[in-house]
Amino acid sequence: MTKAGYKASVAKEEDSTRRDSRRDAEIAALKQQTLLAAALTLPVLLLAMGADMVPALHGLIARSIGIETSWAIQFVLTTIVLAFPGRAFFTKGYPALFHLGPDMNSLVALGTSAAWIFSSVVLFFPALIPENARGVYFEAAAVIVTLILFGHYLEARAKGRTGAAIRHLVGLRPKTARVEKDGQLRDVAIEEIRVGDILQLRPGESVAVDGEVIEGASNVDESMITGEPLPVEKSLGTPLTGGTINKTGTLKYRALRVGSDTVLASIIRMVEEAQGAKLPIQALADKVVAYFVPAVLTAATLTVIIWLIFGPNITFALVAGVAVLIIACPCAMGLATPTSIMVGTGRGAEMGVLFRKGDALQTLNDVKIVALDKTGTLTEGKPELTDFVTAAGCDSDAVLAGVAALEARSEHPIADAIVEGAKRRNLSLPAINSFGAVPGYGVSAEVDGKLFNAGADRYMRKLGIVIDALEETAGRLAREGKTPLYVAIDGELAAVMAVADRIKDSTPEAIRAFKAIGLKVAMLTGDNALTAAAVGRALGIDEVVAEVLPDGKVEKVEALRAAFGPIAFVGDGINDAPALASADVGIAIGTGTDVAIESADVVLMSGELTGVASAIALSHAVMRNIKQNLFWAFAYNTVLIPVAAGALYPAFGLLLSPMIAAGAMGLSSVFVVSNALSLRRFKSTPREAIQ
């Protein structure tokens, strides 16, 4: 391609700064259109209504330029307003009407066209209009367009603020970084960093890309990613996340993920996708709007017909019909849901709660029970070997060394605890052969010519190994909240050991918060029943489901859903992925596996269970906000359409001006957007939920 004269480059995702620039340009264009429309409308308004405000002005206009000339000037200026600043209403509104899908642009186009056509007929063909009805309403058409443009400008500015979270996240990325090349440090653009590059990070600087510390020690502020305020210690081998801020020491780190593969880029992508999501409640609003606009057209037509029959003149009928069309524009209905979603998901991202799927915002609001995995969710996920009791005649060190050797081949957190326990005793691990694992049960291998089996009591029973000699000891350990495991050698019971995983400090507070907002709490675990019951009692969990095999979690989730209603499942491991996918809302601990995160609807970047309570509270706040917006939009239109149609005229002689209708319609949209923006102040915490 280069030989053919074409240069090749790596395709890049659209830069967020460019999107912001485009949005700013749209806002600037709306501002210019509004100012132009206002400048042209002001003389029209003075010519048309100045006489009402200053009676002497009527005579002055009549003597200086004449009423017909005044009307002609209004015609020219109004026509310019409609043809240029207001052109979009016609180019969008009429095609939608002709395709039998009328929208708010159709209502504005019909209303302003009616006022302009009637006034033009009065000006150019006065004989067609009864003498007592001759009057022009050019100012109504011009003012309507100006006010609605102004409302759109205010909406655009307010909606621009809904993307503040995205802009904040994008702003976390530094533009350049200090990279070590051939023994020299030089500043390079962030886009030029490649996996494997060595970077230097000084105090106060932002981490450029995801990496791993290879030299130095420091504290790093990760609050902008996780929502957790305390800095995290970083030293040799610990991971760094792009966008976080180095606080104290100087670090050297190796780039592991760059560009769109970084955690920060993934967060931005998740938030953008969630903000563009369509909630089920939006589908209902869209369906109502689809019937609402034709109903408004019908109401406007009936209004004109009724007042032509019973009203004072044709002008009165026209004014009432135009007012109905304008006041009923469903702009606020269209804004009610998407603006709340944008602000809510953005606020969630700032709190470390990522909605990977936007509809989880609504589904989470309906959840009745939260089911929790134990290891890594309720607990630290770092179990320790606490007890090792051998059967009579067995050497404790030899048995522990043998079982640690086979557990060293396993990826389970409990296996790590056993290996660490052997290391603390300074034991050498023997070589093994024929390693095998049975998920949910245990592991086996040949050690020094002997067959070792290690696992839960159900594994021993499956193998036909008698555990009576140490069963009472295992029961005691389980009642203490520890997880007992058995070791057998050549088919004979050799030892029982216990592993304990410390409950996270935030777990009790989170569970109290769940209960405070009326949720049932369940725990699903592969632990034996005694251990699970002890943990459940300590934490006040309502439903404890123990000895669940990995492939049985989905069945248990479905059983809990049948018993209590919509369910949220919280987990962090590979074996949690099916349950996360099958629950109404799957919530993954962000410190867990990629598979779990990809299967979830919501991701908690902090890894703390309190984030679940925050996510549910945010869901409640967003849905409450959407319902407020929809109520305002629908109630507003429902109440004011009869007023615009002249319902108050017989009793009070009051008819709503189309200009006032246009202003009121614009204020409705601004109110909805402003109400959505109030979600930016959401600060609910589990502690607040309890209180």
Instruction: Identify whether the C-beta of residue 617 lies closer than 8 Å to the C-beta of residue 317.
Output: no
Instruction: For the chain, state the CA radius of gyration.
Output: 35
Instruction: Identify whether the C-beta of residue 33 lies closer than 8 Å to the C-beta of residue 131.
Output: no
CA 582 vs. chain centroid, Å, equals: 20
List the beta strands (DSSP E) in 383-528. Answer: 384-390, 432-438, 442-447, 450-455, 483-489, 492-500, 520-524
In degrees rounded to 5, what are phi and psi of residue 460?
-65, -45
Give the pair of three-digit tokens for residue 199.
């970077």
Instruction: Identify whether the C-beta of residue 281 lies closer than 8 Å to the C-beta of residue 626.
Output: yes
CA 58 vs. chain centroid, Å, equals: 58
Instruction: Identify whether the C-beta of residue 563 lies closer than 8 Å to the C-beta of residue 522.
Output: no
Rounded Cα gap, residues 443 and 405, in angstroms: 11
Residue given tokens 């109030």 in the structure block: 678
Give the torsion sign (CA, 211, 212, 217, 218): positive
CA 306 vs. chain centroid, Å, equals: 49
Instruction: Identify whether the C-beta of residue 686 lies closer than 8 Å to the C-beta of residue 521.
Output: no
Rounded Cα gap, residues 461 and 452, in angstroms: 15
- CA nearest 481: which of 499, 469, 497? 499
Residue given tokens 């210019």 in the structure block: 32
CA 333 vs. chain centroid, Å, equals: 20
Rounded Cα gap, residues 242 and 208, in angstroms: 5
Instruction: Identify whether the C-beta of residue 112 lies closer than 8 Å to the C-beta of residue 323.
Output: no
- Residue 601 is among the residues annotated as catalytic for this protein: no
Pick the catalytic residue from 210, 373, 416, 584: 373
Q: Which residues pair with 233 in a beta bridge?
A: 219
Instruction: Identify whether the C-beta of residue 567 lies closer than 8 Å to the C-beta of residue 514.
Output: no
List the beta strands (DSSP E) in 330-441. Answer: 353-355, 369-373, 384-390, 432-438
Catalytic residues, by residue number, are 373
